[in-house]
Structure 1
Amino acid sequence: MNDFKRSLLIITMLLAAVMELIDTTIVNVALSHMSGNLGATLEDTTWVITAYAIANVIIIPITSFLTAILGRRKYYIGSIVLFVVCSFMCGSAGNIWTLVFFRFLQGLGGGALLSVSQAVIFELFPKEKQGVASAIFGIGVFIGPTIGPTMGGIITDNYSWPLIFYINVPIGILAAISCYFLLTEPTVKPKVSKVDWLGIALLAIGIGALQTVLERGQTEDWFDTRYITVLTITAIVALTAFVMWELHVPHPVVNLRVFKSKSLTIAAIMTFITGIGMFTSVFLTPVISQRLLGFSPTETGFLLLPGAVIAIVGLIVSGKFIQSGVSPLLVVAAGFLCFIYFNWNMSGINFDTSAHAITINLIFRALGMAFLTVPLTMLAVSSLPAAEIPQGAALNNMMRQLGGAFGISIVNTYTAHRVAVHRSDLLTNITSTNVEAAQRLHALTSYFQQKGISAIDAKTKGMAIMEQTVVRQAAMLSYVDDFILIGLLFALTLPLLLLVIRSSKNPAATGVVIADH
């Protein structure tokens, strides 16, 4: 393959991966519009995000298996076609559950666009330039979810939300045509002697059931609802059986034995937490900005853009650090500290917080992602033999998507719980003996009476406005609690890096060993 074709294939792989990752967040700023247009609640509409994430989590760890069964070229092009068709169907959906169904199928197609793209890009670079390959793919991994809200905001404000999905169609068609002529099978083809159908079924059932419980538990009063109880038991049984089966079967669909590597295990945990921080931040920011601060979708989308630009510099800098001999563990630590600082700052927001202040905070979130993307991937595969690197990389990618899916579900549940708590606390202060509350009610009542409304109705309207104020304040306080919780997760996970350092006889060599991969 000549240099031109090689460069074109790299661009195609990166474009397909970015397209898949953009779709993880592009809908975030359009949720309110979708909710109103399709006549659905915001809680139901968040399934548009969650269904896609669940499908990604299911498909990513079995991508290497499907590649071996179907052939890399057929599987990849077929996944692009599935992604494009389902994108069109999402844009054409007439109700929320049709949209959720095709988003799930779209996510199944998108899973290959991430894992296979990474494998091909690594394959196109010689071993001594694997760091460059990591940086190139890292740019896509970061830029995709970050520019998604910006694109979604511009499209939603100036056109309509279905275009968010339709835009994938021409891009996907071009990628499929390019792959048809350029993509080849790997030099060493993996062998699969038997299809692990039971493993695939257990994984899909377990993840699907668990995600449904996390998403719907709060709304359905948890175990007071029969189907939540049934799905909880199903998730526990299916996932336990999945782990036991995959460790027992000779040819597992997901080779969990690679988790014998301490580096991979720790990297996977940290990548899971990174996924939580990455996806919840681009979920919470649009909700707070639009629903509480009154920003438009376009204004909300542009909050993330400066961070995306700066993060490209951060990726280059982190890559230079690693090449110069700085341990990736130090870069990972810097990334976690950036995320902790971001969440700490965001926990101080209020109704007077400006767009500028949020943008500055999001820059630290962006730097955190820039410092974590490449070194965590390197850490994950650093101690694996060459034959197990694809499976290790796929599992690490899965943990990022799984963290995102769990993070959004947990945040939704935690927010609903904290809103109820804060509302109750705030209402205890609104009594007839509270001078400020009484004065506020009197002022509102007088205002409505001046508009010609009777005294009784005026007081009722005044109380309704005070109730709305309480609900908005309770919502803001609950989102503050979300950022505190996420920041705490990062702080509690950071010490795991000490285990990696201690597992090496020569800690200073850790960076060299990892960089070689």
Structure 2
Amino acid sequence: MATPKGFARAIIVITTVTAAVMELIDTSIVNVALSDMSGSLGVNIEDISWVITSYAIANVIIIPLTGFLAEYFGRKNYYIVSMIIFTAASYMCGQSSSLVEIIIWRFIQGVGGGALLSTSQAILFDAFEPKDRPIASGLFGMGIVLGPTLGPTLGGYIIDHASWPLIFMINIPIGIIATFLSFTFISKKEGEGKKKKDIKIDYTGILLLMVGIGCLQYVLERGEAEDWFSSNVIQITSVLAFIGMAGFIWYELKIKNPAVNLRVLGNRNLAFTTIFTFVVGVGLFTSVFVFPVLAQRTLGFTAYETGLTLLAPTLITVLMMPIIGKLMSKGVSPIPFVVVGFLLFAGYSWMSAGVSPDVGKWDFFVPLALRAVGISMVQLPLINQAVAGLQPKDYASGIALNNMIRQLGGAFGIALANNYIAHQYAQHRIDLVTKVTGESQMFLERSNTITQGIIARSGDVAGASTKALATINNIVDRQAYYLSYLDTFRLITIFFILVIPLVGFLRVKKKSKQEVAAAMKAAADSH
């Protein structure tokens, strides 16, 4: 297959990066619209959060299967159909008038979106010569980081100026144009004409993966909302997750042509890299989850202001990714990048844990800039380490597993953060309430000041005391949540610090430029 040049390559770059960013935006854009959606559809906030859960479950199931599906249906066909599915499901999400309806369409959107992300990267890499693929890796890396950050910003702007269906409808013109450009400019991959009958489908492995990973993702996403194992649903899905994953591992190790090759985890380098990748998933997803909630619930930021606060320092990644890609292509050891990246991420978490309640929007720039640089320094090096020591034929399998582990790390991180925040909030509230008593001089003075203020504003003498107590209760609530979010940032710091000594178990295998290019290509094919 000839490498495209000039205008054709530019169109492919724009199309694939835009499609990937569009999918990644949809992983986070909904977060800031949950309140509006719950009110519009007449459900509570816990129920509407299913629009996030269903999308995440579909994504995590599709990711490890994308390579097989692209081979079976043909990569170009699979890409275009996935884009059509994503675009059509986006329209149906915007038109949904009930909770069940939007959950179903979000799941379908996640099926199409998971494929978009994976296949976009593979197509982008094929548009470059092997020696130039680090450039492609840098371009795509920028999209991977910017997409989730743009989501809250764009979502906040839409919620402030329009209504929630627009967060889905904006995908439609982009999807239509991207589909047309893909059909016109993207060539079929060499070997796509392979007959389907020559490809054996591992139906059992795929079914076990869907049950195991799907149920595990459900438990991690919904555990806190369902009060964990006090819920029959969580108990049942936990059992199904265990049976599905255990059966999947046993069956995939047993058969000759598995849907996902688990045997590559016998490589020490890959096994330890998955630990780092899991922690990166915990840090990336948890920080994106905790910071917006802290900013909006306790610091008083609007959704749009929160998005802008995240976006500005993240733009540093636009400069960093191509530089890291270039250095990696020249054979620079990835291990120092990983260590420094983890230390920077730990520094971001520790600095965030020390913010004061009256902090301004731009006071977060430095810690969020550390986070951006840290992300840049661990993404590509971990891809490199995932395949160090593997045979080229096993690259795709190794990186597919690595990417799946990152998604699960993110789900685990959010579940951990939710549970930890709830626990710490309860503890901090008890500690604060013990100091707010009728015998406390400070409490009496504050209560009297608020009471007099209410009387002066409303003239309601009879109800002023009750309203003053309610106001103090809200202040205590806000402070308890504020302290629990800071505790969560400290917990993230501990995760990153504890894992750094495991770097000693990694080994660096000097790769030729051709091997580096092959590894990056495998990352694209199996992301």
Residue 522 (structure 2) aligns with: none
Name whichever of 160-169 and 148-157 sits farther off: 148-157
Q: Distance in 2 between matches of 1:474 and 1:311?
A: 34
Once residues 231 and 223 of structure 1 are traced to their aligned partners in structure 2, the CA distance between those partners, rounded to angstroms, is: 10
Deviation at 1:513, TM superposition (A): 9.4
Q: What amino acid does structure 2 have at the position aligned with 1:453?
A: D
| 8 A Cα contact 1:277 1:407, kept in partner | yes
Residue in 2 that maps onto 1:368: 374
- 1:323 offset after TM fit, Å? 4.3
In the TM superposition, residue 109 of structure 1 has moved relative to its aligned partner by 0.6
* Distance apart, 1:135 and its partner CA: 1.6
Counterpart mapping for 1:53-452 below 5 A: 53-189=56-192, 193-450=199-456, 451-452=458-459
Question: Which residue type is aligned with residue 235 of structure 1?
Answer: A
C-alpha distance in 2 between matches for 1:364 and 1:427: 36
Structure 1: stretches of 5+ with no match in the other structure? none
> What secondary structure sits across from 2:415 in the alignment?
helix
Q: Distance in 1 between matches of 2:292 and 2:359?
A: 14
Whole-Å separation in 2 of the counterparts to 1:295 and 1:90:
28
CA distance in 2, matches of 1:487, 1:127: 38
- 8 Å Cα contact 2:289-2:414 kept in structure 1: yes
The alignment partner of 1:27 has SS state of: helix
Mapped pair 1:453 → 2:460? yes
Say if 1:337 and 1:13 are closer, same or farther in 2 by CA, change over 3 A: same
Partner Cα distance (1:511, 1:311) in 2:
26
Is the alpha carbon distance of 1:426 and 1:92 closer, same or farther for their aligned partners in structure 2, counting shifts above 3 Å? same
CA drift of 1:510 comes to: 7.1
Q: 1:514 and 1:354 mapped to 2: Cα distance?
A: 47
Q: TM-score, with normalisation over the residues of structure 1?
A: 0.92
Answer whether contact 2:428 2:484 (CA < 8 A) is retained. Answer: yes
Structure-2 change in CA distance of 1:35 and 1:288 (3 Å): farther
Separation in structure 2 between the aligned mates of residue 379 and residue 479 of structure 1, nearest angstrom: 33
Shift of 1:106: 0.9
Deviates most, 13-22 or 337-346: 13-22
Task: State whether residues 295 and 306 of structure 2, in contact with CA within 8 Å, keep that contact through their aligned partners in structure 1.
Answer: yes
- 1:317 deviation in Å? 2.9
Q: Is the 8 A contact 1:427 1:470 kept in 2?
A: yes
Gaps of 5+ in 2: 520-527
How far, CA to CA, are the matches of 2:454 and 2:161 in structure 1? Answer: 37
Q: Is the 8 A contact 1:194 1:251 kept in 2?
A: yes
Partner SS for 2:290: helix
Deviates more, 1:81-90 or 1:118-127: 118-127
> 1:267 Cα shift?
2.6
Q: Give, in whole Å, the separation in 2 of the partners of 1:35 and 1:359.
A: 32
Decide whether aligned partners of structure 1 residues 354 and 478 sit closer, same or farther in structure 2, where only a CA change above 3 A counts: same
Taking only the aligned residue pairs, the percentage that are identical comes to 44
Aligned equivalents of 2:326, 2:125: Cα separation in 1: 18
Letter in 2 for 1:342: Y
Name whichever of 462-471 and 44-53 sits farther off.
Answer: 44-53
Counterpart CA distance in 1 for 2:512 and 2:185 is 35
Cα 1:324–1:68 shift into 2, 3 Å = closer
Map Cα deviations across residues 62-98 of structure 1 (whole Å, 9 max, x no partner).
Answer: 1111112222122111111110011111222223443
**Matched residue type, 1:307:** P
Q: CA RMSD in A?
A: 2.4
Q: Distance in 2 between matches of 1:206 and 1:448?
A: 56
Deviation at 1:108, TM superposition (A): 0.8
Q: 1:361 to 1:41 in 2, by over 3 A?
A: farther
Is the partner of 1:270 in helix, strand or coil?
helix
Deviations 1:218-267 (A, max 9, x none): 33333222222222212111111111111112221111122223332233
Q: Would you say the 8 A contact 2:134–2:326 is kept in 1?
A: no
After TM superposition, the score normalised by the length of structure 2 is 0.90
1:356-397 deviations in whole A, cap 9, x for unaligned?
Answer: 112332111111111122222222223332322223333222
Write the distance in 2 (CA, Å) between the matches of 1:219 and 1:259.
Answer: 34
AA partner of residue 266 (structure 2): K
Distance 1:109 1:330, change over 3 A: same
Instruction: Tell me which amino acid in the other structure corresponds to 1:337.
Output: L
Q: Is the 8 A contact 1:53 1:402 kept in 2?
A: no
Q: CA deviation at 1:132?
A: 2.3
